[in-house]
Amino acid sequence: MKRASMGLSLKGTSAATALAVAAALMLVPANLLPVLTTDQAGKNRDDTILSGAIELWKHGLGAISVIVITASIIIPILKLAGLGWIIVSVRRGPPKNARRLTRVYAALDFIGRWSMLDVFLAAFLTGLVQFGELTMVEARSGIVAFAAAVILTVLATQAFDPRTLWAAGPAPLPAPSP
């Protein structure tokens, strides 16, 4: 019975695994391709996520740079790493640290949304900064790949059922002492 249950758990994590792998693959073009092009008085400048954040740092906007790097680079990687850890733990058998993994899952579920920051940023700048030959900002293909990576990460998190962590049915927490 336990063996059959584990087999079904593995089947349940397959979709999450596939989506997480797709998200990891999509993060490569997302970070290598330019996300924004700025045309200022005839001078073109392409920025990737990282180069844009570094540029902010160089202009003395360290805090903003840290926010962008955290939301656009660190969170997606952390989320995929966390999800990978959970999926591998489930595939190895009933996890002994199910409570900790459940907390990690809840945290991943919460932080994922903040990765959309760069997508909104690109959309906003593309809409606002349109001054013909003076200054123009245009979104580039990197932002599409990045948005796809974020969506795939969210879908991977949702595809994983955290209840599979408890398939073996560990005992409830001890009742709090009066």
Partner 1 sequence: MTCRLCGLDHRSVRLAPGETARCTRCDGLLAKGRHGGDFPLVICVTGLVLALPACFLPFISAGKLGAERISTLFTGVGALWDNGMRALAVLVLLCGALLPILLLCTLAVLQAPARVGRWIASPELLARAARSLELGAIPEVQVLAVLVALMKLGTQVNVTIGPAFWCYCAMSFCLLLAQRGFDQGAFSERPPERGALKES
* Other beta carbons less than 10 A from residue 11's beta carbon: 10
Residue 43 binds partner 1 (CB under 8 A):
no
Strand order in the sheet with 36-40: 43-47, 36-40, 135-139
**Interface mask (CB under 8 A) for partner 1, residues 145-164, using x and -?**
--x---x--x---x--xxxx
Strand partners, 44: 39
What residues from 63 to 92 belong to the interface with partner 1 (CB under 8 A)? 64, 67-68
List 77, 81, 88, 124, residue binding partner 1 (CB under 8 A): 124
List 11, 81, 97, 107, residue binding partner 1 (CB under 8 A): 11
DSSP assignment string, 10-44: HHHHHHHHHHHHHHHHHHHHHHHS-SEEEEETTEE
CA dist., res. 79 & res. 131, Å (int): 38
By C-beta, is 24 or 112 nearer to partner 1? 112
If residue 53 lies in a helix (H) or strand (E), which one and from where to where? helix 49-58
Quote the tokens at residue 148.
């796809």
Number of residues in contact with partner 1 under rule CB under 8 A: 63
Distance of closest approach, residue 73 Cβ to partner 1, in angstroms = 14
Note the residues at the interface with partner 1 (CB under 8 A). 1, 4-9, 11-13, 40, 56, 59, 61, 64, 67-68, 98-99, 102-103, 105-106, 113-114, 116-121, 123-132, 134-135, 138-139, 143-144, 147, 151, 154, 158, 161-167, 170-173, 175
